[in-house]
Structure 1
Amino acid sequence: MRLIFFSFLVEEKHVDMARIEVSNAALCLDYLNMPGFRTANITINLVPSGYYAFMNYAAPYWLRHLENGLTQADYDCDLLLELQEPVEAFLAIHFTAPTKQFYRSQDNVRKLQFFRAFKFYDNLETAVVSTRKELTFLGEMKPGEVALDLASVVCTVRGYLEAAYLNATEKVDRDSLERIYGENMFKCPRLSCHYFYLGFQTPQQRESHVEKHTRPFRCDIISCPSSTMGMSTMKELIKHKKDIHTIIQEDDEDDFPEETELAPPRSPKPAETTTKPREPKAPKPLKVKRARITEYRCPQCQKVFSKKFNLDSHMITHGGRRDFLCNVCGMGFARENDRTRHQATHQEKEYECGGTLNNGQSWGCHKKFARADTLKNHHNSVAGRACIQPYLQRQQESLYGPSL
């Protein structure tokens, strides 16, 4: 009902949408031009007052309001002149010249036509193209493709915000921060991700989520370290499964059309003096597409697999043969992969829990493990989380700044 009423107000021109969009764009830009958004002026002292409460909206939405305002204003120069000063100051503060040359579409040139006479036009056009990619691209932006420092400014501010939240000694202080900035304080740094706004309850949940942006393609062999670490591209994952697990990725047979008999070649029609009426063709029978098999269940232990080759590999373990013998202790295994994984336990344990931080401080219990997945399981335990906490804290400080 409210949407219908609002549409009525717009259609009857009781609400000037062009002025609203221009005002919202100017509001976002003026807010981001405030001194507290310059890298040298960002401080934890501004966090409790709610100084950065509007940041999560203004950082991504300034462009949407700017483009909508330019489109709906229909070259109303008096209205659009309200944007000149905020845009010019915004670019002077946040523009960083990228090394990549961006493609300028005709639609983009048409939208920004009003600013063509101003000296900052080229920088504005570059910033618009770059920011639009940041808002829609799910992959990793390269440093040379970023035309504004907003993403790094947001990360720095959030680092101080998270530090204030984690170091709050009183529950009243934490409740106050949650009322201002929301309950989920630990947010994804990607502008294109909805968790940029929603966030997570703990930094561990956020870090686990961010890993999926950089290495989203994971091996489906549970014992493989790449099932947790993942790959950056599908091509790398296919090569990994072929080289390590000797699995050749094949499409399901249902992805291809069923074979049909070829029609016999047509014989040339004899010359006829009279035209005969064509006989109606019999309708072709409809093909019934076979249902795709999504589950392959083991008949002996009832384990379920999503791929047939995984079930075939699993069925070997139910056989009595143990043809793959360990070269060290002679233990037999049904599959070569199992034997290879076992033999790694006899090798020198090269995966150590611990290391040295940049400041020279040592972290971890320095216990050694034969396999990477065993080390990861250790870090997921209660004792292991205590070991790796200094390392994660140092990483967080390098990304978001030191906790105060």
Structure 2
Amino acid sequence: MSTNELLKIAREFRKTLRPQDKETFETSSYNDVLQDVNDIQSQRELTKTMINMKRIQPFLIGMVNLEKILVAIKFQQVSDVMACVWGSIRFLLKTTNLTEREIDNLLDAYEKLGDKIPPLYEYAPLFIGFTESELCLVHIYRDVSTFHQNSYKLFSLRSSLCLKLYKPTWKALNDTIKHLEDSLERHGQFIQDHGSPFRNPLASLDIGSELLFEESEPYTTQNWGRLSLELHNYDDSVIKHQDDFGEKENLKKEEMKTKVLEWISASKETNSLHKRFQDTRICPDTGRWLFKKYSEVTDWMNEDLPPESAIWLHGSRGYGKTILASIIIDELHSRKNRKAIDSESKIYYFYCQEADADHRTHLGILKGILYQMVDTNDYLLPYCADKAESGGSTTLAHVDVAQALIEAFFEYNSRQYVVIDGLDECETGEEMRKIANFFMKQVSKCDNDIKQGQLRVLFMSQKTPELEKDHVMPEEDGRIQLKSTDNAEDIRAYVKARIPEFSKTRGTRSGFNLSEADEDQIVSIVCGRSEEMFLYAHLAIEYLLQQPTKGRLLQKAKGEMLPETLRQIYEKLLGAVRDELLQLEDGEEHWKMAKLLLGWLVCAKRPLKWNEMQSILSYEPERQKVDFDNEMLRQEAEKYLGSLVHILDGGHIRIIHSTARRYIVNNAHINAQETQCQLTVLCLRYLCLLTTSDLDPNEEEHLKKVRHGWFAFQDYACSQWHSHVDTVIKACKDLFCSSTYNGQHTESFGSALQNFIDTHREYLTTELHSDLARDLPAELKEYSGLSFYDNLCLLWNHIYTHQKSAYDIRNTVGIARIEAALLRNRSTLETLTPASQAVNNDTIADYYGPNLFKCKRVLCKFFYIGYEKKDDREAHNSRHDRPYQCPAQCNLAPLGFSNKKDWERHMRHYHPHLSEGPSIFEALRHRTGPTEFKCSLCGKQFTRKITLQGHERSHFGERPYKCSHEGCTKAFARLNDCQRHWKIHSRRQGR
């Protein structure tokens, strides 16, 4: 390695500079630095804010030594490479001089590094006589450049962003500074150990002076050879030191990233949804018309200064907008890879999903975008980690925190694209407006304050009144109405691509043996009926594929026979599933099974996994027995659920489209009220099974029941039973009061209710809640004529009382006997592994899923999601011990808050009607000893952090609290000192 490497290092550094800084880094000299230091000192003397600038002196001496030795060895580009050093110092001093803390930390760093740089010029004969030793100079220059590059990257940010990032970023940089200290010390030690025969301690540092040193005994060939070997070993040790540090830093970053991503706790379905939409695009040219017909989209992607930084594509329901969104996302990645757009561009996306609680709220969308930001950008990790650690909650629960972090990424990235699909599928119109308003404000801020096009947002949705009336969406020039004729060729290509499926064996049926004319007819009819609805074309093909014979197929393919509306086609699809299942042996049983599964999927209180649905099927309420081995379905879910669902990774089941949910129930085949009542009965009876099983003292028999899957339904039943009872009361009255059902539901529900109360009566609340004592709910009174009314009132009083209790009580099952059974079952299950044998070849994972270690708090999603490892579950449980809990039935903060400040902020933002008045919460854990906060500058200790902060301000002369009294110019480092001073004015005015 030669000194030419110095020039390479300097040039690589200069590539990262802003245009306005390049001249400083190309022309600066040592004298320029001295002038700047003198100017800063003079300015501070005038303002009486003197600071110890001498701390930079060792570093400056070290760099003068470096420059002098480069001249001595006749390096040709001395001024070029050293200008990068002098320019860095000048830039950093001028930038940090604006704030006391920043320049103080910078001078500390320079002092630490400077103390490790040896007096290089004293060893000039070594570098002149043994040219290989120039390697030491290269390593020293690289370490100095590393510090300057890291510092420049921070302080060259926009001042507002630098202010946000400074504290956590500089704190993280301290490890690098310590590494560079050690590295410089290593270089110095080698030079001092092997250069002592050449050293001239009287060598002058005056640039341009003659090189003088005492004569030393000449090195023999043997000595030079040994020195060359030592130099080689030194070089290896330097490289290893750098590699070890790099590996350690990478590991630390990965650990930090993992913690931050866990804190964000965004939905894990975003990637699998995108993969699903990619797989749906079976035609390679699907959606390409979008980039040809609408210049607004291509300009939004390509132009350095796009006419509109935010655009809104809207079309009718079923148009295929989500597929178009996935095409845009992939096109952005493609253009980035081939450098058609800025290769540093960041691309973020989110698919709103009406049926998924994590994909339909303002916070859920922000978390999804933030997750991708953190996952693809390491520089802001310390800032995010700092927010996570100081937020008071183990999961991101505040919209304002999420927004603040996202804003920082928007400000940091040079260009970013955000694609949000399905905005109209948000939970409420208010949620739609909030998310649109936030991103539009960010676009405006970036366009006006930073650079037009730095942030580009694309919304995809239906055109809804909620989005239009408040003028939160892009203006007319940024709105694109997708026309009915735009996707006609895509629909035709898609239908043609599906035609070969009619010749393949499908399920229990062989191919249809169609002629070319038959195929053309199907294409023509389906495309004609579809109009602009891609969804209709897909469902129509699925419907036709389910026909039993060629004759039926051709008959249904006629224009007048093919369903016209989505409602009709969903009905027909259900009918087709029914017809196919009825052809099987015991077909009626198969169809009954399919109706159960589809009904449960839609009516469940949270998304069910396939193994959970299997657990319901394996439970026999009348016999109070679970038989996974004999009753679980051994076929894939698609056999029973047909084309109406998608099966995602991990057994997650999703309805094919948001429109399907409302049509699956309340049709000729499935009744929503009956399904809700059935699930309620199942929960009540199953909970009786849990408590009676817990009475068995035989541990061996209990373990056998665990292995046989008896308790696979307990997570759902224990956490949702009261919600199902509530639904029966509010939405299922017709089942019991209408003559249509002949009392069958009255009997089944009444019997289950009686059994539940008989089993748990001693654990139910008998004292009537004060709210119910005044007046029972109108919905409940409507059941007064039914035989189970008294039991229903008793149970409802217990549920109501439980739900009105403190948060920690609401976070339990609600019945102590059931909870005890749950904990015992889980304890036994945790002695097994997912791979453990259940019955024969079935494993525990087949019955219970892969995560056996679960949270005991029913309002936490990890109550049913769980963890693979016990340590992870225990770490999670410890986070629940938070002194301040949300008093509302709120899922945004299931873990509570560790300090009152964060709790109050949550209450102000989400429950303002509850935020007034004194706190009704007490800390769960009290301080057991004095907490000490130590000043990093003088070592003085304080018992309160706020006192420490005020004390530290006094070190730097910071006085942020100014007296508000007219004519008074005094300012203070501490708020209480300012308030005490203000009282003087008040007393004077009162005289």
Q: Taking structure 1 as the reference length, what is the TM-score of the superposition?
A: 0.48
Identify, as 1 or 2, the structure richer in helix: 2
Greater relative CO, 1 or 2 (CA 8 Å, sep 6+): 1
